[in-house]
């Protein structure tokens, strides 16, 4: 793969990671999350390629 491809993909994935973390922190800020776990799902779609990728996991609330 080309350097341009790799750089654009890394830039996109960095943006996904940073903005997702900020959104999750904002949603959990001030909420009663102690001792709770939350199911989380992220979906990435490239419509033009008919591609969907889903990642699931768990985020533990702050104690």
Structural domain boundaries in the chain: 3-60
Residues 51-60 have pLDDT tens digits of 999 999 999 9
Q: What are the phi and psi torsion angles at 36 (to 5°)?
A: -105, 155
pTM, rounded to two decimals: 0.82
Residues 6-38 have pLDDT tens digits of 999 999 999 999 999 999 999 999 889 999 999
What is the Cα–Cα distance from 55 to 41, expressed in whole angstroms?
A: 6
What is the Cα–Cα distance from 42 to 20, expressed in whole angstroms?
A: 9
| Beta bridge pairs of residue 52 | 45
CA 15 to chain centre: 9
């Amino acid at each position: 793969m080309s350097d341009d491809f790799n750089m654009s993909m890394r830039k996109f994935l960095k943006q996904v990671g940073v903005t997702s973390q900020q959104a999750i922190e904002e949603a959990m800020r001030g909420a009663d999350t102690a001792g709770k776990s939350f199911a989380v799902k992220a979906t990435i779609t490239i419509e033009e390629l008919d591609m969907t990728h889903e990642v699931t996991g768990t985020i533990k609330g702050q104690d």
